[in-house]
Amino acid sequence: MSAATMNAWSAQARFAIYYAPSRASGWWDAGSTWLARDAESGVCADPHQGPALSRPLAELTASPRRYGWHGTLVAPFALADHVTVAALLGIAERWAQSQASFALPVEAATLGDFVAMRPAAPSGDERMRALAADALRAFAPLRVKPSAADIAKRMQAPLTERQRELLVEWGYPYVLDEFRFHMTLSNSLDDAADRAAIVAWWHREAQRLGPLSVDGAAIFVEPAPGEPFMLWQRLAFGTAQHVEKSEPLENA
């Protein structure tokens, strides 16, 4: 993404640390085609036929389409006043180089009233939870801290006591032990038959594509409030045993 594009971002731009399959992976094409949008190239296209559903697939995937094909590691955040985009990128690249790649078997499932890919085994859940926790701690110093009003608004949601504690400490309730990695495939759907059809479709796709290769992460950007998120920078994982951890922010 060019400097001119970066200069077009608003002062309210938000950044997120997401897992995104490699462009060389069949998973990237499959997910981007399903959502009818490639968050890296910006190309939008008609989705493939897909399963038989009550409404056109494009109508049932509008919400995840805006965010792009991804799994959240660190939820969207605004940069603190003292943090530049260059500092974010530098710390993100060093953090990524401290991570090791691994394969993640996944399955399609209903999560509440939407459909998503999730780790197929508890060991995969644990690995993704550990990765997200490490990312959360690495990027926390870069984020604007939520205001008391923001916290109060989120407290109105039906949260457990533990989630309320995490919200106060981290500004988001679904982190650390409450984190559940998933890659969203649909809006919230009232129709159980639609949910079942999507799960069945992606069960076959997961068998065809095999495990996800967790060999990197990516910085996604929401250029202005409400705009589609774009994949700005991919972050390749390195060999964790031979790379030093990121320096503190003040030394960046």
User: Per residue in 95-116, is it b (16+ CB within 10 Å) or e — as a string?
Assistant: bbbbbeeeebebbbbeeeebbb
For the segment 76-80, the average pLDDT, to the nearest whole number, is: 94
Instruction: Give strand pairing partners of 14.
Output: 222
Residue 6: pLDDT band with limits 50, 70, 90: low
CA distance 217 to 118: 17
Instruction: Give strand pairing partners of 103.
Output: 213
Residue 11: pLDDT band with limits 50, 70, 90: confident
pTM of the complete model? 0.89
Tally Cβ neighbours within 10 Å of residue 172: 21
Burial bucket for residue 227 (CB in 10 Å: 0-12, 13-18, 19+)? middle
CA distance 221 to 130: 23
Of the listed ranges 46-60, 69-83, 193-207, the one predicted with least confidence = 46-60
pLDDT digits (tens, 9 = 90+) for 28-44: 999 999 999 999 999 88
CA distance 83 to 80: 5
What pLDDT is stored for residue 7 in this prediction? 61
Residue 50: pLDDT band with limits 50, 70, 90: confident
What pLDDT is stored for residue 44 in this prediction? 83
pLDDT digits (tens, 9 = 90+) for 180-189: 999 999 999 9
Q: Is the pLDDT of residue 4 over 50?
A: no
What pLDDT is stored for residue 132 in this prediction? 97
What pLDDT is stored for residue 48 in this prediction? 63
- Check: CB of residue 8 under 8 Å from CB of residue 85: no
The whole-angstrom distance between residue 120's C-alpha and the CA centroid of its chain comes to: 18
**Which residues, in sequence order, are CB contacts of 215 under 8 Å at separation 6+?**
22, 101, 236, 237
Q: All domains of the chain, ordered by start, with CATH?
A: 20-145+183-239 (3.90.1140)
User: Per residue in 138-158, is it b (16+ CB within 10 Å) or e — as a string?
Assistant: bbbebbeebeeeeeeebeeee
For the segment 102-109, the average pLDDT, to the nearest whole number, is: 98
What pLDDT is stored for residue 107 in this prediction? 98
For the segment 186-202, the average pLDDT, to the nearest whole number, is: 97
Backbone angles phi, psi at 214, to 5 degrees: -90, 85
For the segment 15-26, the average pLDDT, to the nearest whole number, is: 95
DSSP 51-100: S--SS-HHHHSHHHHHH-S-EEEEEEEPBPTT--HHHHHHHHHHHHHT--
Could you tell me which of 181, 236, 205, 198 has the C-alpha nearest to residue 29?
A: 205
Percent of the chain at pLDDT > 90 equals: 76
The whole-angstrom distance between residue 97's C-alpha and the CA centroid of its chain comes to: 19
pLDDT digits (tens, 9 = 90+) for 128-154: 999 999 999 999 999 998 888 888 888
Going by DSSP bridges, is the β-strand pair 230-236/216-222 parallel, antiparallel, or unpaired? antiparallel
Residue 12: pLDDT band with limits 50, 70, 90: confident
**Which residues, in sequence order, are CB contacts of 207 under 8 Å at separation 6+?**
none
For the segment 214-222, the average pLDDT, to the nearest whole number, is: 97
